[in-house]
Amino acid sequence: MLSRQIERWWRDLHNRFEKYFKRQLNMLLEQGFYDQHNQTDRDLLAFVFIPVIQKEIDIFYKCTWNTHRIRQQKDAQMPKGIPDHVFHFPENYGHEQCGKPRANTVC
C-alpha cells in the first residue's frame, strides 16, 4: 500500500508543476539565456530556481497532498481521513500525539 501512495505522490507532483519548470528551463536553454556547460550559468540558475521550486513543493505537500482524503482500506494500518486532520487530532482516530509540532503552514 505504501508504494502506491508514493507512486501517487510522485504522479501528482509531476502533473502539478514539474512539467511547468521543465518548460521554463527548456525555454531558457532554447533562447540562449542558459548554457548548461557554463558553471556560472548553472550556479545562477540554482540560486534562483531552487528556492522557488522548494516553495512550490512546500505548497504542494501542505496545501494539496496533506489535505486530500485517504479512503478506508482493508487491512490497512493507517487511519482514513485527511492527513493534516489526523496529525492534529490523533485522538479522533484512536491514536496519541507523539510528533513535534510543525511550523506554520503556507495555506
Question: pLDDT digit of tens for each residue in the chain (107 aa)?
Answer: 555 666 777 787 787 777 888 888 899 999 999 999 999 999 999 999 899 888 888 887 777 666 666 666 566 665 666 666 666 667 776 767 776 666 655 55
Q: How many CB atoms lie within 10 A of CB 13?
A: 16
Kindly report the backbone phi and psi dihedral angles of residue 81, in degrees, each rounded to the nearest multiple of 5, phi listed first: 125, -165
Task: Determine the residue type at 5.
Answer: Q
Q: How many residues does the chain have?
A: 107
Domain coordinates of the chain in residue numbers? 2-93
Q: What is the pTM of this model?
A: 0.53
The C-alpha cell that represents 69 in the structure block: 482524503
